[in-house]
Amino acid sequence: MPSRRHLANAIRALSMDAVQKAKSGHPGAPMGMADIAQVLWTDFMSHNPQNPNWANRDRFVLSNGHGSMLLYSLLHLTGYELPIEELKQFRQLHSKTPGHPEYGYAPGVETTTGPLGQGITNAVGMAIAEKVLGAQFNRDKFAVVDHHTYTFLGDGCLMEGISHEACSLAGTLGLGKLVAFWDDNGISIDGEVEGWFSDDTPKRFESYGWQVISGVDGHDPEQISAAIEKAKADTTRPTLICCKTVIGFGSPNKQGKEDCHGAPLGDAEIELVRKELAWPYAPFEIPADVYAGWDAKEKGAAKEASWEALFADYQQAYPELAQEFVRRKNNSLPESWSHESAKYIRSLQDNPENIATRKASQNALNAFGPLLPELLGGSADLAGSNLTIWSGSKGVSKDDASGNYLYYGVREFGMSAMMNGITLYGGFKAYGATFLMFMEYARNAVRMAALMKQPCIFVYTHDSIGLGEDGPTHQPVEQVVSLRATPNLDNWRPCDQVESAIAWKAAIERTDGPTTLIFTRQGLPQQNRSAQQLSDVERGGYVLVDSDSAPQIILIATGSEVHLAVEAAAKLNAEGLPTRVVSMPCTDLFDRQSAEYKESVLPRATTKRVAVEALAKDTWYKYVGLDGAVVGMDTFGESAPAGDLFAYFNITTEAVYNVAKGLK
């Protein structure tokens, strides 16, 4: 049997060879953390390479994602479907081994990492999901949800503010099955970090309520093993294991230096590494005994089989719970969902109410929440303003994790990245809320949800200058433009309680990407709709008001401005100018409709078009064309009552009417 060091050297060799072949990458972290990875993955990780989606597997997140060859090496060596040919194609087009780990490319990659700090935050989300799901489904003698989340992180992750947001909450929630390994090598790309990173990290994590295991030699297997045992023994607190390592371990001339952080070692240095490590094999060559020492397929299959036997007994003892567990892990909606959600939406149309869409959102949650035990909501503070708490909401706490609502605190970025982790974990429909303006703090996590095609639901209220007196610091202007420009992201800005409920329904049903739900502070009038119009809302854009003859003018609007367009159209039609109003609550969804449908809503023959939205104008020119006009914002807002602001910025019925009349 090869020694631990020899097994770890396989990671070092594969990593340096792949980076060298690609002529780019980060060999230092994989070479420095190889010994930690060897102990964790051969002695402690509970996983099955033949079934990467086994529900009760341990999760592993490489937060310092630039060290991706560490993860690819582990997956290849332990028996996942990641052949050596893919490692040889590291960083190449269409390979399963991109420069940073990307969810959905290679089996065993639990999340996309690279933007530092988000990996550890995803891991916190996964640990939350494990704790909540376990509290909801575990019963005496039947711990069907019982595993750990492990994450590697470096100095860069700890410097990013998001790590504070997530790790602080992890301590508060007592996530005792979360274990983080800090790669304390003192080096970043710019050199020795002591000039810009002098935190007392152990004390920082102790203040969060973590168990901290300091002074571990990251190249001593016995110390690493003892630390992991100690971490697993404390189930009341998350654990940080502080591992002192040498970046680029084994490189005679570059180890311990920034030279090996983000660049290939070079052919000459690699030959020296082979001698230093006593690794006399050709590039990408792994001897049979090393493969055998790493192979986790047999052990993993046995672990999964043991769990399957436990779950079979669980099914006998708790058949309904077992059925619900399977449904949720398969991300299937309840059988009653389609009928009951449609029934609720019809009832709203039949019973008009003029309310703020944030209130309509809460009403929708009260209707949909009892149907969906998988809902796991939250808010970055502001729950009383976002109206994300519904009648069945129960807070998740350290001592009772069986609830369905997370008080994230003022942590917009952390919340959004934790939601990614929860959603990746499975079994939940995660939603989280803040003011639309503060989406800016969370933007990168929202982008990551879109990149990974994860169906998170981001709820954003106080959606325009309609926020009013809080002023321009709180009034979003340009945010929706950037959200609409994000691939895979659906953005809904509904105009009344009906469109709000339909937006929620669409977000809940979506499986291939995230959704933003953008709601008003101020009350809005409900619009009249036929049964066909009610159905067409789900297309993202539809004819809300039509003229008696072919339209000469088309008014397009969303959210709080739809009623302005309707009022302006009434005046124009009364004057003999045939005018159509198109409500477009989700431009992203409308753009995916057939050419025939889009033509039926926005006929090319009608070139006189006006879009109105109390936000930046840029989105709308692709719909109104160069001959059309947009009534919207060109500046930041001001502090004043909402009504005064709409008048001041000339976003009114009269303005829409005058602009439409003036089109040539």
Residue 31 phi, psi (nearest 5): -70, -35
Contact between 542 and 583 (Cβ < 8 Å): yes
Query: Which stretches of 554-652 are DSSP H helices?
Result: 562-574, 587-591, 595-601, 621-624, 642-648
Query: Which stretches of 79-235 are DSSP H helices?
Result: 84-88, 118-137, 155-159, 161-172, 201-208, 221-233
**DSSP letter string, 403-447:** -SEEE--S-HHHHHHHHHHHHHH-S-EEEEEEEGGGHHHHHHHHH
- According to the 3-state scheme, what is the secondary structure of 99-112? CCCCCCCCCCCCCC
> Strand, helix or coil at 515?
strand
State the burial class of residue 384 (Cβ atoms within 10 Å of its Cβ: 0-12, 13-18, 19+): exposed
CA distances from 399 to 212, 236, 338, 432 (A): 21, 9, 35, 22
Q: State yes or no: is 412 an active-site residue.
A: yes
The residue with tokens 């039947």 is 142
Geometric angle at alpha carbon 248, from 243 and 251, rounded to 5°: 135
d(CA 257, CA 269): 14
d(CA 631, CA 3): 71
Torsion of CA 299, 300, 302, 307, to 10 degrees: 150
CA distances from 624 to 421, 486, 603, 617 (A): 39, 21, 11, 11
**DSSP letter string, 255-289:** TTSGGGTSS---HHHHHHHHHHTT----TT---HH
Contact between 493 and 518 (Cβ < 8 Å): yes
d(CA 517, CA 558): 12
The residue with tokens 């090319």 is 604
Strand runs labelled E in 43-83: 59-62
Half-sphere exposure of 449 (CA within 13 A, CB side): 33
> Strand, helix or coil at 146?
coil
d(CA 217, CA 193): 19
Among 49, 125, 115, smallest CA distance to 81 is for: 49
71: part of which helix (H) or strand (E)? Answer: helix 68-78
Residue 62 phi, psi (nearest 5): -90, 90
Contact between 120 and 61 (Cβ < 8 Å): yes
Q: Which of 412, 499, 567, 613 is catalytic?
A: 412
Residue 141 phi, psi (nearest 5): 70, 0
Residue 525 per-residue DSSP state: P
Interacting residues of 172 by C-beta distance below 8 A, sequence separation 6+: 208, 209, 398
Interacting residues of 300 by C-beta distance below 8 A, sequence separation 6+: 46, 47, 48, 49, 50, 51, 79
Phi-psi region of 409 (alpha: psi -120 to 50; beta: other; left: phi over 0): left
- Provide the annotated active-site residues: 412
